Amino acid sequence: MAANLTPEYLEAEKRFKGAKTTDEKVEALEQMLATIPRHKGTEKLQADLKRRLSKLRAGQQRPPVSRAGLMHRMEKEGAGQVVLVGPPNSGKSQLLRALTRAAPEVAEYPFTTRAPLPGMMVFEDVQIQLVDLPPVHPDFFETWLYQIIRNADAALLVVDLSDPDLLEDLETTLAELRKAKVELGSTAPPNSVGGIGLRTILVGNKLDASGAVEDLEILKELYRDRFPIVQVSANTGEGLEQLRRASFDLLALVRVYTKAPGKKQDLTAPYVLKRGSHLMDLAAMVHHDFLTQLKFARVWGHGRFEGQMVNRDYQLVDKDVIELHR
Ligand SMILES: Nc1nc2c(ncn2[C@@H]2O[C@H](COP(=O)(O)OP(=O)(O)OP(=O)(O)O)[C@@H](O)[C@H]2O)c(=O)[nH]1
Ligand SMILES: [Mg+2]
């Protein structure tokens, strides 16, 4: 046979043909994909297997998430919640693995992830919650998926730079989200009633794969006005530091450290507030008494002279050290 199919492959194929249930078919197809020889001569067949597998998996019984009604919400933790969205197989789960201690299932066929899974990503001294999700695709329509996305603070839109259908898949994802009234890449909600806009980074993943760089150039050309673009390889780790920083920037936060008068700054975890917050917002977080009793504060930081006095309406800057006085 021209394609040099192995006995393992042929065995799996036989099982596929004899399979009665969807589960059996999926299992056999997965085995076929795992054992098919990888070369030019089988590329078409590989693509065909993936397509069939994705159809079957999409129609497979779902975990009972929607019935239980429990997973419509994803409890927020840390400084912000960022959802991983994108077409099937783009490497969302692999990215969660690379950036956090969570261990979602990663597989070479699409529709692997069936339920949300959170993990904490560290950036310097803050923790950002990432949530791995099933792919955004017409074959996987679950309202809870869109509820989780709508409730998030920001999104990483993950695409596969080695996928020849990259642009088409990306547009499909954006269109599905638009149907659910979620507009990625804007901070303002779209005009439709109940629509939301979600700050988004376009993450070009699989930078290590061949041909990835050309696709990256096209992607930049078409989307750089709409999204910040970060290129990474979840496999080799390339670009992940930039992605951590970009995710923090995306959330538009400031970190503020407090110190007691005459003492050194408190080096424990910072207070994290929305960019644009004022001194009074911090005071309220530190102790509610400060709301009425705060007289002034001193600031050590950015573009200020050491210990400069500021008023209640002072706008906080990332990495400010603040001494509150009553
Ligand atoms: N070469 C390369 N392969 C990658 C990279 N990231 C992920 N992959 C591979 O891409 C395939 C899909 O990865 P997943 O993380 O399961 O993709 P996903 O987006 O979670 O897929 P779904 O859950 O089906 O939506 C797996 O075979 C991964 O090993 C990468 O940076 N480089
Ligand atoms: Mg996945």
- Checking if the pLDDT of 41 tops 80, the result is yes
Give the three-class secondary structure for 271. Answer: strand
User: pLDDT of 243-254, one tens digit each?
Assistant: 999 999 999 999
- Checking if the pLDDT of 170 tops 60, the result is yes
Q: Which two tokens stand for residue 71?
A: 């997973």
Q: Which protein residue's CA is at the shortest distance from atom 25 of ligand 1?
A: 88
Other CB atoms within a 10 A radius of the CB of residue 117 amount to 19
196 phi/psi in degrees, rounded to 5: -130, 155
Judged by its nearest atom, the ligand closest to the C-alpha of residue 92 is 1
- Checking if the pLDDT of 69 tops 70, the result is no
- pLDDT band at 68, cuts 50/70/90? very low
- pLDDT band at 189, cuts 50/70/90? low
Which residue among 83, 84, 85, 94 is best mutated to probe the pocket of ligand 1, counting the most ligand atoms within 8 A of its Cβ?
94
DSSP run (H or E) holding 85: strand 81-85
Does 200 sit in the ligand 1 pocket, CB within 6 Å?
no
DSSP string, 14-81: HHHHH--SHHHHHHHHHHHHHHS--SGGGHHHHHHHHHHHHHHHHHSPPPTHHHHT-TT-----BT-E
pTM: 0.81
Give the three-class secondary structure for 205. Answer: strand
129: Cβ contacts below 8 Å, ≥ 6 apart: 76, 77, 78, 80, 81, 82, 118, 119, 120, 121
